[in-house]
């Protein structure tokens, strides 16, 4: 008898969280990378205060994205190397349940790193980063990026050059999400009137729906031989 | 011979790009049989097992498992099979108990029955006292016993084993022999690929030798010892290479 979608998703998410809470491998690696990145950016932009203010949303997203790529590679490689992805696919569960289960874990870890960056960046760049709209944009942007990243990482972990291949295929495809996220964040942080930037979070939401739908549909073909 | 065919493969073809691995293969396996799939590397043994497990789609031909056709009715087939490979297919950062609970949930076992089933299986494979230890602390032999427990968590009718003896020492291989005999005694149908010809006659009821993507020989093991099997194997694979 087929396992229900939600039971399968819930089992996969709880398994990923349990493994991560126990090893702290992904979070520590992603967090350390993110921290070092914003410190480097902070030193590089130190002399020019205006440039620093203008570049802050770019710094945030570049850091979150590359930290996420590290996490995505590791998360899917761990499933592939021990054959665990095959073991999950052998169970009588829908393929999209495996995708959503892995996506939720990857999204949560990336979002956690992004959220942890906000107060650090606020201190380093002297900008109020902790605003409800920034949190919403961070959540939507990370979700869209994680969805595309989960599908593509499932493909690239089967290759020998997986570490370098993932960013090469992921960044061009995720560009619309990144563009909307950076534009929205820049406008929110600059204190522009809401009318001028409210379209960007809306576009981000629409992109998330489109990408999520495509990823759910494509995942079955990605894992199929 | 048991009358009911459990696995029926007809005209099976599998090609990767333009390279044919299996060429119009026909095979019927009956309920309760223990079949060894033998053959040289690249003969198509693992490919055939992956297709029987619904992990790989045929290029042509029909596969029926328990009356269900693959890949269209894969959900029904997956509930009936357990797979053991030379890869562990378990999470090293979880304990044996946590692994079995996770896979039990994926196989839709009732939460109330799951703990009992896990205790039972851990006892069967001799891991009762180490069930709460992280899998990364296990030896290769213990890992393979856990893999058997994982494959049996949903009480499948069919066990598919791909090179299960890889990396096991003599003692661990002996324990695996006993676990497989028990699984067979319980009425399960077992299909196993292996290169360990010495182990085959005392364990399985039938030998199928694959050679260049077709069946080179299909014979019961009654009255066969490992020396005779080695001779037959060499003859069949040599003839196939000469073709």
Give the start-to-end residue ranges of the domains of chain A: 5-223
Chain A environment of B93 (Cβ under 8 Å): 19, 22-23
Chain A environment of B108 (Cβ under 8 Å): 1-4, 7, 92
Q: How far is A1 from chain B (nearest CA, A)?
A: 7
A90 and B94: CB-CB below 8 Å?
no
CA dihedral B53, B54, B59, B62 (to 10 degrees): 80
Chain B environment of A12 (Cβ under 8 Å): 106
Of A11, A82, A225, the CB nearest to B106: A11
The 10s digit of each residue's pLDDT in B129-150 is 999 999 999 998 899 899 999 9
Strand order in the sheet with B68-70: B19-30, B5-16, B60-65, B68-70
Taking alpha carbons only, the member of A106, A120, A115 closest to residue A134 is A115
Strands (DSSP E) found in chain B: 5-16, 19-30, 34-38, 60-65, 68-70, 81-84, 158-162, 189-193, 206-211, 214-220
B105 and A7: CB-CB below 8 Å?
yes
| Region A61-83 average pLDDT | 91
Residue A11 at interface with chain B, using a CB cutoff of 8 Å: yes
pLDDT band for B3, please (50, 70, 90 cuts).
Answer: low
* Residue B18: per-residue pLDDT: 79
Mutate one of B54, B73, B99, B105 to test the A interface: name it (highest A CB count within 10 A).
Answer: B105
Question: How far apart are the C-alpha atoms of A25 and A52, rounded to whole Å?
Answer: 31
* Residue B90: per-residue pLDDT: 93
* Residue B224: per-residue pLDDT: 85
Q: How far is B152 from chain A (nearest CA, A)?
A: 12
Residue A2 at interface with chain B, using a CB cutoff of 8 Å: yes
Q: How far is B39 from chain A (nearest CA, A)?
A: 22
pLDDT band for B243, please (50, 70, 90 cuts).
Answer: low
Looking at the predicted structure, is the pLDDT value of residue A95 above 90?
Answer: yes
Residue A4 at interface with chain B, using a CB cutoff of 8 Å: yes
* Residue A47: per-residue pLDDT: 64
The 10s digit of each residue's pLDDT in B70-111 is 888 888 999 999 999 878 899 999 999 999 999 999 999 998
Looking at the predicted structure, is the pLDDT value of residue A71 above 90?
Answer: yes
pTM for this model (two decimals): 0.90
Looking at the predicted structure, is the pLDDT value of residue B2 above 60?
Answer: no
């Amino acid at each position: 008898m087929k396992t229900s979608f939600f039971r399968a998703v819930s089992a996969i998410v709880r398994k990923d969280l349990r493994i991560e809470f126990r090893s702290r491998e992904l979070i520590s690696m992603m967090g350390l990378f993110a921290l070092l990145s914003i410190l480097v950016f902070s030193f590089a932009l130190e002399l020019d205060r205006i440039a620093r203010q203008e570049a802050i949303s770019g710094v945030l997203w570049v850091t979150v994205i590359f930290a996420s790529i590290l996490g995505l590679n590791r998360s899917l490689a761990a499933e592939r190397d021990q054959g665990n992805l095959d073991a999950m696919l052998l169970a009588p569960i829908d393929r999209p349940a495996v995708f959503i289960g892995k996506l939720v874990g990857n999204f949560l870890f990336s979002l956690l790193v992004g959220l942890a960056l906000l107060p650090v960046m606020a201190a380093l760049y002297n900008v109020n980063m902790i605003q409800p709209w920034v949190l919403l944009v961070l959540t939507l942007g990370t979700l869209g990026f994680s969805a595309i990243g989960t599908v593509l990482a499932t493909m690239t972990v089967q290759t020998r050059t997986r570490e370098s291949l993932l960013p090469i295929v992921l960044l061009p495809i995720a560009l619309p999400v990144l563009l909307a996220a950076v534009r929205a964040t820049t406008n929110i942080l600059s204190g522009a009137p809401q009318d001028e930037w409210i379209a960007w979070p809306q576009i981000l939401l629409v992109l998330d729906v489109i990408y999520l739908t495509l990823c759910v549909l494509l995942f079955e073909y990605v894992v199929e031989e | 011979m048991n009358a009911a065919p459990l696995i029926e493969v007809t005209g099976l073809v599998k090609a990767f790009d333009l390279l044919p691995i299996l060429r119009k293969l026909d095979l019927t396996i009956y309920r309760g049989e223990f079949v060894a799939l033998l053959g040289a590397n690249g003969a198509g043994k693992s490919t055939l097992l992956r297709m029987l497990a619904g992990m790989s789609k045929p290029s042509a031909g029909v596969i029926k498992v328990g009356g269900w056709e693959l890949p269209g009715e894969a959900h029904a087939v997956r509930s009936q099979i357990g797979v053991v490979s030379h890869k562990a297919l378990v999470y090293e950062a979880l304990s044996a108990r946590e692994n079995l609970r996770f896979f039990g949930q994926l196989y839709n076992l009732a939460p109330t029955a799951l703990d009992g089933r896990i205790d039972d299986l851990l006892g069967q494979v001799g891991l009762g006292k180490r069930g709460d230890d992280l899998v990364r602390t296990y030896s290769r032999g213990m890992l393979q016993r856990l893999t058997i427990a994982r494959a049996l968590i949903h009480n499948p009718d069919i066990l598919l084993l791909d090179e299960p003896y890889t990396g096991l020492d003599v003692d661990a291989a002996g324990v695996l022999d006993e676990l497989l005999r028990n699984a067979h005694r319980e009425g399960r149908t077992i299909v196993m690929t292996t290169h360990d010809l010495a182990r085959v006659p005392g364990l399985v009821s039938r030998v199928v030798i694959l050679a260049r993507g077709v069946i080179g020989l299909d014979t019961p093991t009654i009255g066969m010892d490992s020396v005779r099997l080695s001779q037959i194997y060499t003859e069949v694979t040599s003839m196939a290479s000469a073709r």
